[in-house]
Chains A and B, each alone.
Chain A
Amino acid sequence: DAGITQSPRHKVTETGTPVTLRCHQTENHRYMYWYRQDPGHGLRLIHYSYGVKDTDKGEVSDGYSVSRSKTEDFLLTLESATSSQTSVYFCAISVGGPNTGELFFGEGSRLTVL
């Protein structure tokens, strides 16, 4: 599993509250990704990082921010959670190169916004 852990694994929160999901890796890989998974939409890229302090937007970045202050941690923040952000969030790392490496995924974080 390339040493990826996500926390928390489950969270229930209320609309308007801030939420931070953490992705931690132990193998010093450069490229990290946050996806959300919803029925009928597959996996959609939220944000990704190609190094410390280097991040960029994905397909569905509105309402989300990320930070990567050290190689091992990639944080996803919902500044003010909305019900439409209820989803399963997966973190992934690319192993083997930026455009050809395979992605290893964490176990996922299930977020429910009431």
Chain B
Amino acid sequence: GQQVMQIPQYQHVQEGEDFTTYCNSSTTLSNIQWYKQRPGGHPVFLIQLVKSGEVKKQKRLTFQFGEAKKNSSLHITATQTTDVGTYFCAEVTSGTYKYIFGTGTRLKVLA
């Protein structure tokens, strides 16, 4: 079945350091989405990547989709305490309506 591996599981960084989380799939993806969940909250959509090699930016966040559409990454430049939370990637199986999530990366930012 589908497997979406996400690493690392946890990351502690000092405020101002960069952070990257990686998402890898065993199959070629039609698209990939990223979500953020603040502690005690619910997941919130960040972005969707569709094209091979696509790069999108949202302020300090950079999202990449691999050339083979089997992996993706989220990079945060100069982390802030507001970046604390768990970041999930999610893939949608082509031809179905299933959104399958990675296990998430929990980010803690130390002030």
Contacts and interface: CB of A to CB of B under 8 A. Distances in A.
B101 A105 contact: no
Contacts of B100: 45, 59
Interface string B81-104: 000000010101011111111111
Interface residues of B, number: 27
B31 A100 contact: yes
- Interface majority SS on B: helix, strand, loop or mixed? loop
Interface string A81-101: 000000000101010001110
Interface residues of A, number: 27
B9 interface: yes
Contacts of A56: 97
Interface of B: 1, 6, 9, 30-31, 33, 35, 42-45, 48, 50, 88, 90, 92, 94-104
